[in-house]
A = this chain, B = another copy of it.
Amino acid sequence: MAVARAAKTQRRTRIQEEKEERILDGALEVFSASGFRGTTIDQIAEATGMSKPNLLYYFRTKEAIYRRLLERMLFTWLEPLKAFDAEGDPQAEIRSYIRRKLEMSRDYPRESRLFANEMLQGAPHIGDELNGPLKQLVDEKADVIRAWIKAGKIARCDPYHLIFAIWSTTQHYADFDVQVRAVLGESRAGEGRFEDAARFLEQMFMRGLEIKGA
C-alpha cells in the first residue's frame, strides 16, 4: 500500500502521469466555470470519470489540484509577454503580441477563465505571484515601451495602461465568450470572430500608437 503522493517514490508511474493529466483537465473544466469555492470534488470526479477517493489518491486536496492548475497556467500565460523584444520593430512586436494573446484566448479559453475567476476573487492563491514575478516582468516590458517612445518610434502613452488594454481586449473573447456570441448572433459567432477581432484590434492599436504626422 505504497502511496503515490508520498515523497518516497521518486519515479512517476505511467498510470500516475495519465491520471493526473486527466484530473487536471477535468478540474480545469469545472474550476474555470465555477471558481475555487464554487466547484466540488464530486464535480471534478464526474468530469474525469473517476471516483472521488481515487481522485484524492492523486491529489491530497482540492486546493492541491487548483494550485497546480494555476502554476501551470501562469507560466504559459506570461510566455507571450516575455517574448516582447526591445530590439525588434515596435509595430511588429506589439502586433504579434496582440495576435498571440488572441490565439491563446481562442485555444485556451478555460485557462483564461480560471485566471479571471482567481482575479475576481481577489487573487487569494496567487497574490504573491502578482506582486513579485508578474510586476517585475511588466515593469521590465514597460521600460522597453518607454524606450520606444523616447526613440520616437511610437506615440507617447502610458505603457502600463497600454499593456492592460491589450490584456483586457484579447482576454475578453475567452472570458466573455457567451456575451460575444450572443451579441454577434449566429451568423457571425463562428470561429471567424477571432480573425475579425484580430483585424480590429491590430488596426486600433496600430493607429493609436502611430506617431502623428509620420
Contacts and interface: CB of A to CB of B under 8 A. Distances in A.
Interface residues of A, number: 61
A167 interface: yes
A184 to B, nearest CB: 6
Contact of A161 (B160, B177, B200): B200
Interface of A: 32-39, 113, 116-117, 119-123, 127, 130-131, 134-135, 138, 155, 157-158, 160-165, 167-169, 171-173, 175-180, 182-185, 188, 196-197, 199-201, 203-205, 207-210, 212
A193 B61 CA distance: 39
A204 B123 CA distance: 29
Contacts of A169: 164-165, 168-169
Copies of this protein, total: 2
A119 B184 CA distance: 15
Contacts of A122: 33, 178
Contacts of A168: 168-169, 171-172, 176
Contacts of A135: 182-183, 185
B117 A120 contact: yes
Contacts of A177: 119
Contacts of A161: 196-197, 200-201
Contacts of A123: 178-179, 182
Contacts of A117: 35, 117, 120
